[in-house]
Amino acid sequence: MKTVQVRVEGRVQGVYFRDYTRREALKQGVDGWVRNLPDGSVEAVVSGPEKAVEAMLDWFQVGSPHSIVRAVRVREITPPENYSSFEIRY
């Protein structure tokens, strides 16, 4: 199992980025959450099998159809909680 905290910068708000992130997370079988940040970026925590987490990190580089990803910052973390699904946080 691997857990990462991800911050995605660029045009990632107002383009359904969180919804597409959730869809991709369900497809990859990972748990965690995604939320918008006040500075216009998006933050996510992704937890699951290493291969699935790596697939999510690849997806973050491209993003949703109308997003423009400028930077993806990733750091591996110890899971702060036990996740059992992937949710959009507000």
What whole-number distance in Å separates Cα of residue 64 and Cα of residue 59? 9
Judge whether 75 counts as a catalytic residue: no
- Active-site residue, from 7, 11, 18, 73: 18
Angstrom CA distances, 54 to 14, 27, 39, 62, stand at: 25, 13, 26, 13
Active-site residue flag, 22: no
Burial (CB count within 10 angstroms: exposed 0-12, middle 13-18, buried 19+), residue 13: middle
The catalytic residue among 11, 36, 73, 82 is 36
As annotated, the active-site residues are: 18, 36
